[in-house]
Amino acid sequence: MKSEFSITVLPGDGIGHEVTPVCLELLDKVCKQVGGVSLNYSSFAAGAVHYKETGVSLPEEALQHAFDSDATLLACMGMPSIRYPDGREIAPQLELREKMDLFAGVRPVKTMPGLPLPLTSEKAQNLDFILIRESTEGLFASREKFKIEGEGADEAAYDTQKISRKGCERLFDFAFELGRQRRNEGYKGLVTCVDKANVLGSFYYMRQIFDEVAAKNPDVDNNHVYVDAAALQLVGRPWQFDVIVTENMFGDILSDLGAGLMGGMGMAPSADIGIEKAVFQPCHGTAPDIIGQGKANPTAMFLSAAMMLRWLGNKHDNSSAIEAARKIDTAVENAYATGTLLPYELGGTSGTEAISSLVFAELDKLA
Ligand SMILES: NC(=O)C1=CN([C@@H]2O[C@H](COP(=O)(O)OP(=O)(O)OC[C@H]3O[C@@H](n4cnc5c(N)ncnc54)[C@H](O)[C@@H]3O)[C@@H](O)[C@H]2O)C=CC1
Ligand SMILES: CC(C)CC(=O)C(=O)O
């Protein structure tokens, strides 16, 4: 059984440099506590600042390492002030997802105890569902091919969405398998396809493939919701969802809504999963408004690291890695359950130091 894992670490830009060091500290601590699992990190510069300094956003060496290592831990990348000549931001995390074929962006929406969440309903305090964002195509796939046509009053810009049969089939297979797993764990096991099939042919195509895959998985419940209605329902009665599966751009937007339900971007973990490879990174960006102020919430990064350990443990049949993941989740949950943490995003003053210290202390108690 494999117990030593090589991890590509990409701190990226902005608050990535604040949440990455404490996350590696947490990982070292938990691995030492559990035994039977150790991580060897190799860190690389990549992102907007690296592009500004070198003209390269994702060095070949970093990409190769990500391919060769067991998993990649990425914080966040991008800076609104640094752009390609065509005006787009530098976002090598998208290239990484595409080049490594990480089609399933798994974004859990799980609330923590002890936080004054934006939705006050009792049921909204105990949310636990997962949004799967297709991460290799959709509207994002057009970003390097966008065109401006016509002149004067007829000038118009076009981005073209890509929805492929292969992309849909593997995504929906993944969603139904997750739905089945969750049903076996006592969740609803309901897979909801979110689209805009009432207006766009590409989404009607996607929905038909969803229905084909659903027919092959009759033991797992499913339904469809249009994306506008999904936005409404995510605010009105989010507890009705279990596994949401959707296109890249819709998933980008709705997963931020999901982060809002948890108390902010600093609470929302994520994993980009392919057949063999995976990258783990929080949903948040580089938070230029709080860089260097100690306000960055490392929770999303911690929970993403736990997702990495669980994925490694399942893939390599290493129960210690799964135990380490469980310990991180429990330590984070227990830290919030004290009711003493209030992150900046919720109007409080708990930043990187306060949150990390309490999570570390709770982890020590689990020894
Ligand atoms: N996966 C990635 O690497 C992503 C990168 N970006 C990039 O990040 C930059 C900023 O984008 P924004 O739209 O402002 O999104 P953002 O997620 O960086 O920030 C949105 C809001 O959430 C807050 N926030 C985010 N993470 C936080 C944390 N861990 N702790 C406390 N507060 C946190 C920020 O202070 C800000 O008020 C842009 O360059 C954007 O392109 C944006 C989203 C995802
Ligand atoms: C700035 C974008 C690339 C953000 C995004 O969609 C992501 O990283 O998930």
- Complex ipTM value: 0.98
User: Would you say the CB of residue 138 lies under 6 angstroms from ligand 2?
Assistant: no
> Which residues, in sequence order, are CB contacts of 237 under 8 Å at separation 6+?
123
Contact yes or no for 354/341 (Cβ under 8 A)? yes
Q: From the CA of 153, how far away is ligand 1's center (Å)? A: 35
Say which ligand is closest to the CA of 296. 1
**What's domain 1-108+265-367's architecture?**
3-Layer(aba) Sandwich (3.40)
Dist CA 85 CA 211 (whole Å): 42
- Residue 143 scores a pLDDT above 90: no
Arithmetic mean of pLDDT, 15-41: 98
- Residue 146 scores a pLDDT above 90: no
- Token representation of residue 163: 């929805």
Return the domain boundaries, the chain: 1-108+265-367, 118-262
Q: From the CA of 218, how far away is ligand 1's center (Å)? A: 39
Q: From the CA of 28, how far away is ligand 2's center (Å)? A: 28
**Fold for the domain defined by 118-262:** Isopropylmalate Dehydrogenase (3.40.718)
Contact yes or no for 197/206 (Cβ under 8 A)? yes
Contact yes or no for 15/76 (Cβ under 8 A)? yes
Q: Where residue 144 falls among pLDDT bands split at 50, 70, 90?
A: confident
Dist CA 323 CA 9 (whole Å): 22
Contact yes or no for 280/308 (Cβ under 8 A)? yes
Q: What does the pLDDT read at residue 350?
A: 98
Residue closest via CA to ligand 2's atom 2 equals 91
Contact yes or no for 13/48 (Cβ under 8 A)? yes
Domains 1-108+265-367 and 118-262 share a fold: yes
Q: What does the pLDDT read at residue 89?
A: 96
- Residue 245 scores a pLDDT above 90: yes
pLDDT per residue as tens digits for the range 286-341: 999 999 999 999 999 999 999 999 999 999 999 999 999 999 999 999 999 999 99
Q: What does the pLDDT read at residue 145?
A: 87
- Pairing state between β 190-195 and 147-149: unpaired
User: Would you say the CB of residue 23 lies under 6 angstroms from ligand 1?
Assistant: no
pLDDT per residue as tens digits for the range 234-243: 999 999 999 9
Dist CA 235 CA 284 (whole Å): 20
Half-sphere exposure of 102 (CA within 13 A, CB side): 22
User: Would you say the CB of residue 79 lies under 6 angstroms from ligand 1?
Assistant: yes
pLDDT per residue as tens digits for the range 44-75: 999 999 999 999 999 999 999 999 999 999 99
> Which residues, in sequence order, are CB contacts of 130 under 8 Å at separation 6+?
106, 107, 108, 109, 178, 182, 242, 243, 244
User: Would you say the CB of residue 201 lies under 6 angstroms from ligand 1?
Assistant: no
Radius of gyration of the chain from its Cα atoms, rounded to whole angstroms:
20
* pTM for the structure as a whole: 0.97
